[in-house]
Structure 1
Amino acid sequence: MTNILDTAQRPAKPATVPTTPTALITPTNSNATDGIIGIASNAAANQAATDQAATTNHFNHREKQWVLYDVGNSAFVLLSTAVIPIYANSLLKAAGESNIVSTWGYMQTIASLIIALLMPILGSVADVQGMKIRFFIGFFGTGVLACCAMALPLGWVAFLAVCMLATIGLNGSLTFYDSMLIDTTTNDRMDQVSSHGYGWGYVGSTIPFIACIALIFAGPSAFGWSTTACTRASFVITALWWTAFTIPLISSYHQTHYRETADHMRDAVRGTFAELGHTFREISRNKPLWMFMIAFFFYIDAVNTIISMSTSYGTQLGIDSTQLVLALLVTQFVAFPCAIAYGRLAKRFGCKPMIMAAVIAYLGIVCFAAFFLRSATEFWILAILVGMFQGGIQALSRSYYGKIIPKSHANEYYGFYDIFGKTASILGTFIVAATTSITGNPSLGVLSIGLLLAVALVFLILQRDSATASETAA
């Protein structure tokens, strides 16, 4: 990435790639008092199509279009992993600032906290008939428009503010998208469909990413554009890709599980906070559910921490930034078949055992990173290992959770699921940073991630697997 780095201090041609990215691998009991559980008018026909698909390995129309959104939004995820932080750093340097790690981290933390606070509330309202798709479109539209707005000539403060809006739009849409899974397929196919979503998302995201990287490197000589202009154009390309693969889902989605009719919308909004308290009490009474949520909190914390800290760790070891970006692409391609394979293995061995296998694998990955990662070769091995298990554990967590929650309150429950995922993203990085600061040894900081995985494994072992019973009931 030399040509971008070389432009870092040129006022006439602001740089887009100063330091390394901040992340490597990115690339989640019905009750009588809950209201009227409605069934969409075309639910019977939709269910028949899903049941027919369940007898084969082929996906039906709705399942395919649900998977396509993972292909669309993953392009922005990958761009924000490798390109956007680098461009933001160039803006900071132009303004006389230099600490991209803390600045970018604060922006991500604020965006995560906003989503974590909003989602249970909005999720409760979205469980009303017809509201889920409206909230999804609202957050998706916000993310796409903000992604396009990032191409404007903005200062670093304005750029980070717009980027935060795009991040909120993405993560907000994903909460509703995850809950759409229960309306798209049956319990026995959730693992496979969810895994294909992550798998195709990984490989699909590389197409616009490679195009954007090629434009950034070759655009100045091929088109006479500045590196900055090429980088801004990559934001628009990503937004267009994101939109193109979202339209099929918007045009075909039907909410088949809900707790109120549209006529009761006012009462539903008024009772949202009461419903949230009720849902929290229901979770606390459902031991298998809350034990899984605690386990999920700890192991997804570890997964997210490895994602966000691996590049910083590799940079401290002196690994070249080009090697880091190439390793990122390798991770995406490895994650594609492995995520799909994980869905098939879950059908044979069960969803929870495969999640536990991934947690154990991550324990090994953490030990490898702490004790053996010293050069670019080991970093490539780390990228491949993470790619083998990252998509699988994320996909199966999403589908397993969908099996053990009440379908009529899916958005509300996925809102709590999102709180656990977002707050975990904050805690893990703090533990690594604090351990490294106290001991002065980054390897011990990385090793501290293993404690989180060990706690998660204990809760998974103790938790009674209720997914099989839920599948039978469904």
Structure 2
Amino acid sequence: MAEQTNDAASTTADTIAGTTADTMDDAPTAGMGLTARERKWIAYDVGNSAFVLLSTAVVPIYANSLLEAAGQNDIVSTWGYAQTVASLVIAVLMPLLGSIADVQGMKVRFFCGFFGTGVVTCCAMALPLSWLPFLVFYVLATIGLNGSLTFYDSMLIDTTTNERMDRVSSHGYGWGYVGSTVPFLVCIALIFGGPALLGLDTAFCTRISFLITAVWWAVFTIPLLTSYRQKHYRATRDQLGAAVRGTFHELGSTFGKIVKNKPLWMFMLAFFFYIDAVNTVITMSTSYGTQLGLDSTQLVIALLVTQFVAFPCAILYGRLAGRFGAKPMIVIAVVAYMCIVFFAAFFLRSEVQFWILAILVGMFQGGIQALSRSYYGKLVPKTHANEYYGFYDIFGKTASIIGTFLVATTTTITGDASIGVLSIAILLALALVFLLLQKDPTRR
């Protein structure tokens, strides 16, 4: 299929559509050093992160209570299946929808569709439901969230320049971490204080927290919707039919191009392994906290500490990437995570050491996620960004399975949980090999 758009065409379109407001949006803001358009893009990270945090700390507990009330004993596997279904749906859909969304004007439409699905089903979770309908709505909300994030990530290339991409992406993760704690603290205060102070049922307070999160998510999406313009695209809306018909052929072609692009392919393999390790460390740290006898309140506080530590560290990581490059900072984060794994395997034995682990994870978690998103955006062709980010999402979502399986299997075979945790280092070592073998095309 012929591609109609190039940088010159995009520039001409921007000039014709440009207004005084657009010029103001592209002007850096004093203090933060970010343009208004960049700040509006960052606002969505603040909005959706509230649902992410609630899903980590509150939703599993509430779902477990519904399952127990129904006499279901296999709680862990039921919750795991729900997460797996959501991940698989996104992994299958995103490359296909991403390819169509690269058509002029379609990216924001798909974003609104998934974002709207997430917010509406998050509200539906507040209904007094049994465990099965609740999990169905949760899966739909998770699909809405992750689907919107695929299009949101690709909007970064339309929001800023390659030179500013690392910094803007890092601000997104940083402000997302700290901003999400505002509604989360309100929800936690309501859940723990509502029964005693207001005479409300704990389950009712928990359901209200879903509504609070949905409202926060929606409000912080409005700035992005009012400011976003798709600058890079591969066809016009008049050619949408031809674009859709050619989508399946182009998906195979795009994957072939990814494999042939050695720097991109090597990075995607590295990303597959290290992002799995990052997600596994987060998951296993909670399990270790429970094993150490920490109550739910301490676990929530530890989670908040991680969020607050991740905020300045993610922004700092973006600034360091501007000086040293994104890839070197990703390599540093991978090495740091290897040290975190060794610490968790050999030294995590008390509450104090658990708090140290939470701080260490916060120091590198936001940085490696933010720079992975921005570095990938520099490697892919701008006019096919959504299609490429769809494959990026496949690698990220399918990587959420291997680490936990590796830890569980190693622990079962050896009978030693420390060796099980240590097995995560295998993933990080593989990622490090691919990163070191990759030649960074963004370095001058």
TM-score normalized with structure 1 length = 0.90
Is 1:192 the counterpart of 2:192? The answer is: no
Determine if the alignment matches structure 1 residue 267 to structure 2 residue 238: no
Q: In structure 2, which of residues 178, 184, 192 is the aligned counterpart of residue 203 of structure 1?
A: 178
Q: C-alpha offsets along residues 269-298 of structure 1, whole Å, 9 cap, x if unaligned?
A: 010001101101111111000000000000
Quick one: which amino acid aligns to residue 200 of structure 2? W
Q: Name the CA distance, whole Å, in 2 between partners of 1:460 and 1:54.
A: 35
Partner of 1:177: 152
Number of residue equivalences: 438
Q: Do 1:40 and 1:255's aligned partners in 2 also have CA atoms closer than 8 Å? A: no
Structure 2 stretches lacking a partner, 5+ long: none
Alignment of 1:79-118 (within 5 A): 79-118=54-93
Q: CA deviation at 1:439?
A: 1.3
Which residue does 1:243 correspond to in 2?
218
The residue that corresponds to 2:397 in the other structure is 422
Structure 1 pair 339–352 and aligned structure 2 pair: CA distance change class (3 A): same
Matched with 2:190 is 215
Letter paired with 1:88 = A
Please point out which of 46, 64, 67 is paired with 1:71: 46
1:337-379 superposed Cα distances (whole Å, 9 cap, x missing partner): 0000000010111110000000000000000000000111111
1:39 aligns with 2:14: no
How far off is 1:52 after superposition? 5.0
Question: In structure 1, how many angstroms separate the alpha carbons of the residues matched to 2:426 and 2:14?
Answer: 45
* Superposed CA offset, 1:386-412 (max 9, x none): 000000000000000000100000000
Tell me which residue corresponds to 2:142: 167
Q: 2 CA distance for matches of 1:113 and 1:231?
A: 28
Q: Name which of 85, 97, 103 aligns with 1:122.
A: 97
**SS of 2:34 mapped into structure 1:** coil
Distance in 2 of aligned mates of 1:125 and 1:101: 37
Change in 2 beyond 3 A, CA 1:464/1:90: same
Letter in 2 for 1:190: M
Task: For residue 251 of structure 1, report the CA deviation from its aligned partner.
Answer: 1.1
Q: Within 2, Cα distance between the matches of 1:288 and 1:200? A: 30
Equivalent position of 1:462 in the other structure: 437
Match of 2:374 in 1: 399
Alpha-carbon distance between aligned partners in 2 of 1:96 and 1:295, rounded to the nearest angstrom: 43
In the other structure, the counterpart of 1:21 is none
1:407 and 1:396 map into 2 onto residues whose CA distance is: 17
1:233 matched to 2:208? The reply is yes
Displacement after TM superposition at 1:72 (Å) = 0.2
List structure 1 runs of 4+ shifted beyond 3 angstroms.
Answer: 32-38, 44-57
* Percent of paired sites with the same residue: 71
Per-residue CA deviation, residues 312-332 of structure 1 (Å, 9 max, x unaligned), is 122123232222111000000
Q: Return the offset for 1:99.
A: 3.2
What letter matches 1:348 in structure 2? R
Q: Is the 8 A contact 1:323 1:376 kept in 2?
A: no
> Matches of residues 323-338 of structure 1 in structure 2 within 5 Å?
323-338=298-313
1:71-90 deviation per Cα after TM superposition (whole angstroms, max 9, x unaligned): 00000000000000000000
What SS does the corresponding residue of 2:155 show, helix, strand or coil? helix
Structure 2 CA distance for aligned equivalents of residues 343 and 238 of structure 1: 28
Distance 2:380 2:37 in 1: 22
CA contact (8 A) 2:26 2:36 kept: no
* Cα separation, 1, equivalents of 2:4 and 2:271: 29
Q: What TM-score, normalized to structure 2? A: 0.95
Q: Which residue of the partner structure matches residue 149 of structure 1?
A: 124
Partner amino acid, structure 2, of 1:466: P
Could you tell me how far apart the structure 1 residues matched to 2:88 and 2:321 are? 32
Q: Measure, in 1, the Cα distance between the counterparts of 2:214 and 2:302.
A: 24
SS at structure 1 position matched to 2:42: helix
What is the CA distance between 1:206 and its match in structure 2? Answer: 0.3
CA 1:435–1:360 in 2, change beyond 3 Å: closer, same or farther? same
Secondary structure of the equivalent of 1:53?
Answer: coil
3-state SS of the aligned residue for 2:137? helix
Deviation (angstroms), 1:43: 2.0
Residue 317 of structure 1 pairs with residue 317 of structure 2: no
Structure 2 residue aligned with 1:449, among 417, 424, 428?
A: 424
Let me know the Cα RMSD of the aligned residues: 1.7
Aligned match of 1:139 in 88, 101, 114? 114
| 1-structure distance, mates of 2:29, 2:189 | 41
Shift of 1:50: 7.5
